[in-house]
Structure 1
Amino acid sequence: MILDLHTMLVAVAVATACCAIARIVLYILHPGLAGLGYWAWASVIGAASFAVAGTGAGMPEGWSLSLAHGLVVAGFCLVWDGFRRFLGRPGLTSRFYLGLGGAAVVMIVGSHLAGSLHLRATFNSALVMAISAAIARELLWRTPPHRLAMRLAGWVYFANALFFLVRGLSIGFDLEFMAGKMSYGMTVVASMWWLCVTISVTLCMVLMASERLQADLNEQASRDPLTGALNRRAFASLGEREIVRARRTASPLSLLMIDMDHFKQINDCLGHGGGDEVLVLFATLAGRILRAEDLFCRFGGEEFLALLPSSSLMEAMGVAERLRAAFSAEGAGLDSEGKLPFPMTLSVGIAALAADEDMEAAIRRADAALYRAKDLGRNRCELAGG
């Protein structure tokens, strides 16, 4: 049985509407995830485009098809905008939307005045191809290998760009289109392809949201809730990897054991809220001074650990001194009322991983160096012995 063309378009619209419902539910469940609202609206507009094409919306066929094409392009733009926001990149500007809309209006009006269905279809294919290629680039460029759903969505849009490239080139060989008539075969293929892409992309969107939520949960499980530093469990796991890497590459690996001096008195004088502010201040300073590859951990209370890959003992000493000086300079700002009878300082013990020791042994040596710094008057950095 061969379906009437308009009946088939309405059926595709209904199936696309089901995908729209799935995206809307996804947005309702996770409104805090950037971009999901744009994906939902894009799917609604996509369903509307096929509904307009299938029913005619009470308009002459040429104008209803032009409106449907315009809605398709608008939906692709919203999807692109949503992906950019989901990835933490700036969204598309209103100037972009206005410029694209103006160009589309000029082309639609021009093609109607010329009576050219061929020109209108070619222009629509070119726009969809360009936007699909842009989305594919967003999703595939610098995407980590473990983001499988994101990469899959990127390849779907890459395939979509190729499809519309072929469609645009093949229009000139379709006699029905060149005669100004709708081509049943081409419309069926394009509609079925649209449905496959919509279903595939919706599935990828659900999986991408799940990946993001799982990554957020993993991040929360590995971080100290107050300072944002790694917790001990996460530090131990990542630290073991760094030890393996250091031994494989024969590169140095140094450890800082850091403790705030007189922290009990700081809590007594400033209150526990003030003590928390001191801890957050130090974690912020450490985030500015340490490198991206360094590991920073809240070891317990006012004690912190920093693991410095590819850093010798003397290089680690330089980092420790910068941390100590920065904390002394900026810590005074938290005691603007002069409640503390002493300046805010910290002491640091520094150890380099020996060839025959594990992380626990290196931490014990750094801790011994820290206590020596305390015994020698605090507010200083001390190197661990062998």
Structure 2
Amino acid sequence: MTNLDPRSMIAMAGFMSAVMAVVMLFMRRHYPPSIRGVGAWAVAPLLWLVSTALFGARGFVPAWLSLVVANQLLVLGSLIYYMGTRHFLGHAFDWRFWGWVMAGSTAVFVVLTYAYPSYSMRVGFFAVLMGSIYAAQLRFMLQHGDRSFPVRLVEVVLAAHTLILAVRLISLVIGKGGSDLMEPSLFQSLYIGAYVLMVLMLSIGAVLMATDRLRTELEHLATHDSLTNTLNRRALLECCEDELERARRYGQGPAIMMVDLDNFKAVNDTRGHQHGDAVLVHFAERTRQALRRADRLGRYGGEEFLVLLPGSDSGAAQVVAERIHAALATGHALDCEVSIGLTSWTGPHETLDAMLARADAALYRAKHEGRNRTVVE
């Protein structure tokens, strides 16, 4: 390790940054815009790449480039990465505060480079500054991130590098921090090596977070109706089959409601399909509010919906049906009337086809008897 050239390790960090920037830019171009933050994650390694190039050119370019600008690009890249993380998790980034931090830190680096040149003070200030940024992002992710592996990976990398910066700060205090970044010492090699690993792992963490979000969105699209955001027919029938299997094991089955919007064709014909779509969305939102957490609502076809009520007998299901009728009669401009056909589980011999047939027959009776009512079969 002592024979490793710091410039070579810095060049390696630049190479890692370049590779990950290309990967993130490709993702930014091809991933859906609903996955926010990918653009910032792509910019961050580009800034780190320029920073490492300036660090590696120390002694060949002016100090304001290799010391002031190089350090500030590293800081800015970390802030941009933090911004991407906040956007990814649905939060804004306060550039007013961090902009002042950037301006103040630039002034400090200028002073410690020209007015009071000091390697140890410059490195110490950099360690405190970067540690603060990492700590802010780590705190944010612990508060707002989920427990998925990609999020935990980034959290571990941030915590580990914050610890490394703290050790580096302690080494400066006890006079073991070295006298120049380019000195070929074991300590400097370890520190630069940790930076190379941090650049790689943070970028990999961003790629994994974005990919995990894409997988979640694709799964959602595959199982949900794009207009009403309810389950689609295939996913809903799978839920029904699962619930019937559970009922055979535990002896307590579900109820099923077939719900149809009354006179919906007339709404489309007189008000237009766009208004009809708005009515469907409003119906789905109001109906979800009337259901329990375990209940499932899905679009069965057109203006017909299916409600699965796990562990509910006919009486409990009728109470839910009354709540749906009440939720759609509040006077909202998009309120509608619905007919409901209801049936419940009859025993271990029950099949989904039989329950659907009874619910459909009950719905037909509700329509025949005057609509805007619930009929139990």
Q: How would you bin the TM-score normalised by the shorter chain?
A: 0.7 to 0.9
Partners of 1:181 and 1:46 lie apart in 2 by: 17
Question: Larger RCO: Structure 1 or Structure 2 (Cα < 8 Å, ≥ 6 residues apart)?
Answer: 2
User: Residue 350 of structure 1 aligns with which residue?
Assistant: 342
User: 1:10–1:55: 8 Å Cα contact kept in structure 2?
Assistant: no
User: Residue 255 of structure 1 aligns with which residue?
Assistant: 256
What is the number of residues matched between the two proteins? 371
Q: How does 1:44-63 map to 2 (within 5 A)?
A: 44-56=46-58, 58-60=61-63
User: 1:255–1:308: 8 Å Cα contact kept in structure 2?
Assistant: yes
Q: How does 1:203-214 map to 2 (within 5 A)?
A: 203-214=204-215
Partners of 2:230 and 2:104 lie apart in 1 by: 50
Q: How does 1:1-386 map to 2 (within 5 A)?
A: 2=3, 4-30=5-31, 32=33, 33-56=35-58, 58-60=61-63, 64-88=66-90, 90-105=91-106, 107-108=108-109, 111-112=112-113, 113-139=115-141, 147-175=148-176, 177=178, 183-185=183-185, 186-242=187-243, 253-309=254-310, 313-330=314-331, 333=333, 344-356=336-348, 357-384=350-377
Unpaired runs of 5+ residues, structure 1, are 335-342
User: Residue 337 of structure 1 aligns with which residue?
Assistant: none
Partners of 2:124 and 2:228 lie apart in 1 by: 56
Unpaired runs of 5+ residues, structure 2, are none
User: 1:176–1:183: 8 Å Cα contact kept in structure 2?
Assistant: no
1:266 positional shift? 3.8
Moved more, 358-367 or 118-127: 358-367
1:300 positional shift? 1.6
Deviation readout 1:82-122 (Å, 9 max, x if unpaired)? 0121122x121122212322442454356455544323222
Structure 2 counterpart of 1:69, one-letter code: N
User: 1:258–1:347: 8 Å Cα contact kept in structure 2?
Assistant: yes
1:141 positional shift? 5.3
Partners of 2:191 and 2:234 lie apart in 1 by: 52
Structure 2 counterpart of 1:307, one-letter code: L
1:138 positional shift? 4.5
Aligned residue for 1:58, secondary structure, equals: coil
User: 1:227–1:280: 8 Å Cα contact kept in structure 2?
Assistant: yes
Moved more, 290-299 or 104-113: 104-113
Deviation readout 1:273-309 (Å, 9 max, x if unpaired)? 5544433332233244435543110112221112234
User: 1:152–1:204: 8 Å Cα contact kept in structure 2?
Assistant: yes
Structure 2 counterpart of 1:236, one-letter code: L
User: 1:8–1:54: 8 Å Cα contact kept in structure 2?
Assistant: no
Aligned residue for 2:308, secondary structure, equals: strand
- Normalising by structure 2, we get a TM-score of 0.83
* Distance change in 2, residues 1:77/1:176 (3 Å): closer
Partners of 1:196 and 1:267 lie apart in 2 by: 59
1:34 positional shift? 0.9
- Normalising by structure 1, we get a TM-score of 0.81
Moved more, 226-235 or 10-19: 10-19
Moved more, 150-159 or 238-247: 238-247
Partners of 1:158 and 1:240 lie apart in 2 by: 45
Partners of 1:249 and 1:121 lie apart in 2 by: 65
